[in-house]
Amino acid sequence: MATVYADAAATAKPAETDTDAVKTASVEGPDAKTPTEHGGSGSSEPSTSVAQAFFARFGQSLIAPVLGILAFLGMWALLAPQVDTSLGALPGPVEVAEQGVALYGEWQASNDAKAEFEAAQEGRIAAGTQAEAFEYSGPPTFIDQVFTSLKTVALGFLMASVVAVPIGLAAGLSPLFNAAINPLVQIMKPVSPLAWLPIVTMVISAMITSADPFLPKAFVISALVVMLCSLWPTLINTAVGTASIDKDLLNVGRVLRLGWFAKLTRLVLPSSLPYIFTGMRLSLGVGWMVLIAAEMLAQNPGLGKFVWDEFQNGSSQSLARIMFAVIVIGLIGFLLDRIMMAVEKFASRNRTV
């Protein structure tokens, strides 16, 4: 890929943005590599055709998205100051970026405070004025809240998968069982997380009565709500994938007298795996959305609480901080989706059956 960059730099300079695009593309990886890159664009070619070639190659994959983002940022910067709220004008991209930096600074300050607290505590324990070590009880920063949310969604998603995949397999293999659970699934599926929340809260509050439980109640409540809402895509996809297995395969299995377990692991699972992972990918997306809503309503630690607290603060920076949180929520959602996509691809890489 280095050759591409060298070519562009050596020839009469293309437009500024194009150079940037080429630079980025050169680190992007092998996706962009095509045969013409190596042979076609020699240094003797006129620069216009090089630019054209790049545009043709990266137009859709890079230039268009970058232009789209730039156009959005431009519109945002232009229009936001015109909206006058009771907290001042709507913040533009620059203010939001500033708050992003400020939030990072707060995290560092909090880390320093924590280190100081722990050092002082060690001193007190050594001096015998304090019996046991305490956990640092400072306020959670934005970055702490991000990790809390990620942990919660991971637990909820894990529980959902553990429950949904076996039920889905059973439903796919047995039309009778499928018919039995179908109405329940259809009714539970569209229920909003906010409707589950009071029920889950009351049940968990009644079940965990210890003063110092293994997992904090709020964490369990959020994770359970995520599970209840993200169960369904995995369940339905698994059932569909299992049901749509090639009948010939099953017949072959019967001929070979495969046992129940062998049938499941050799035939059913491999052929329904892509469906299962597609379902899980959808589930994770749903879970992430549900989690933010649940955290906002129940005031459970996490990004949702961060957004709600900032809304309640109503200070002149609150809106910018909320917008920064929205962007981070979006990016994390996107990232989770990409990770699941990669897993999905990996799972279905060599479909031999």
Partner 1 sequence: MAKVRDFWIAGRGVAAAVLMGATLAACGSSGDSSSGEKVKAAVVDGAVEKPNLKFGFIKLTDMAPLAIAKEKGFFAEEGLNVELEAQANWKVLLDGVIGGQLDGAHMLAGQPIAATIGYGTKADLIAPLSMDLNGNAITLSNKVWDMIKADLPKQADGKPKHPISASHLKPVVASFEQQGKPFNMGMVFPVSTHNYELRYWLAAGGLNPGYYTPGDVTGLVDADVKLSVTPPPQMPATLEAGTIEGYCVGEPWNQAAVFKKIGVPVITDHQIWNDNPEKVFGLRKDFAEKYPATTAAVLRAMIKAQQWLDADNGKNRPEAVKILSQPNYVGADYEVIAASMTGKFTFEPGDTRDAPGFNIFFDKFAGYPYYSDAIWYLSQMRRWGQIAQDKPDSWYVDQAKAVYRPDLYLAAAGKLVEDGVIPEDSVPETDGFREPQGGFIDGITYDGRTPNAYLGSFEIGLKEGQTVTASGVTGG
Give the containing element (helix H, strand E) for 84. strand 84-85
Identify any residues that bridge with 89 across adjacent strands, giving them in sequence order: 84
Q: Token pair 């539970």 is at which residue?
A: 188
Site for partner 1, rule CB under 8 A: 86-87, 130, 132, 134-135, 137, 139, 205-214, 216-218, 297-299, 308-316, 318, 321
Query: How is residue 131 annotated by DSSP?
Result: S
DSSP H helical ranges for 80-92: none
To the nearest whole angstrom, how small is the minimum distance from the Cβ of residue 141 to partner 1?
A: 9
Q: How far is the CB of 122 from partner 1 (least distance, A)?
A: 14
Written as one string, the DSSP assignment of 294-317 is: HHHHHT-SSHHHHHHHHHHH--TT
Phi-psi region of 314 (alpha: psi -120 to 50; beta: other; left: phi over 0): left
**In the complex, what is the shortest distance from the CB of residue 138 to partner 1, in angstroms, rounded to a whole number?**
8
Question: Closest CB to partner 1 among 197 and 282?
Answer: 197
**What is the smallest separation between the CB atom of 299 and partner 1, expressed in angstroms?**
5
Nearer to partner 1, 75 or 215 (CB): 215
In whole angstroms, the minimum distance from the beta carbon of 87 to partner 1 comes to 7
What span, in angstroms and rounded, lies between the C-alpha atoms of 175 and 168? 11
The amino acid present at 219, given as its one-letter code, is: F
Closest CB to partner 1 among residues 87, 332: 87
Between 125 and 185, whose beta carbon lies closer to partner 1?
125
Closest approach, Cβ 193 to partner 1, in A, equals: 16
Nearer residue to partner 1 within complex by CB, 69 or 89: 89
Q: Of 27, 18, 24, 25, which is closest to residue 49 (Cα–Cα)?
A: 18
* Sequential DSSP letters for 139-184: PP-HHHHHHHHHHHHHHHHHHHHHHHHHHHHHHHH-HHHHHHHHHH
Q: How far is the CB of 76 from partner 1 (least distance, A)?
A: 23
CA 205/CA 224 separation, integer angstroms = 13
Whole-angstrom Cα distance, residue 21 to residue 32? 12
Measured distance CA(81)–CA(91) in Å, rounded: 7
Q: Which amino acid is at 124?
A: R
**Among all chains, which residue has been given the structure tokens 């949310």?**
149
- Specify whether the CB–CB gap between 262 and 331 falls below 8 A: no
142 or 277: CB nearest partner 1: 142
Q: In whole angstroms, how close is the CB of 315 to partner 1 at the nearest point?
A: 5
Q: What's the Cα-to-Cα distance from 337 to each of 5, 121, 207, 343, 348, rounded to whole Å?
A: 31, 42, 34, 10, 16
Rank residues 268 and 298 by Cβ distance to partner 1 and give the closer one. 298
Closest CB to partner 1 among 97 and 208?
208
Q: How far is the CB of 137 from partner 1 (least distance, A)?
A: 4
Complex with partner 1: residue 19 or 130, whichever CB lies closer: 130
Smallest gap from Cβ 97 to partner 1, in A, equals 18
Nearer Cβ to partner 1 (109/341):
109
Give Cα separations from 36 to 4, 10, 51, 195, 337 (angstroms).
Answer: 10, 18, 14, 57, 33
Please tell me the distance from the alpha carbon of residue 299 to that of residue 312, in angstroms, as a whole number: 12
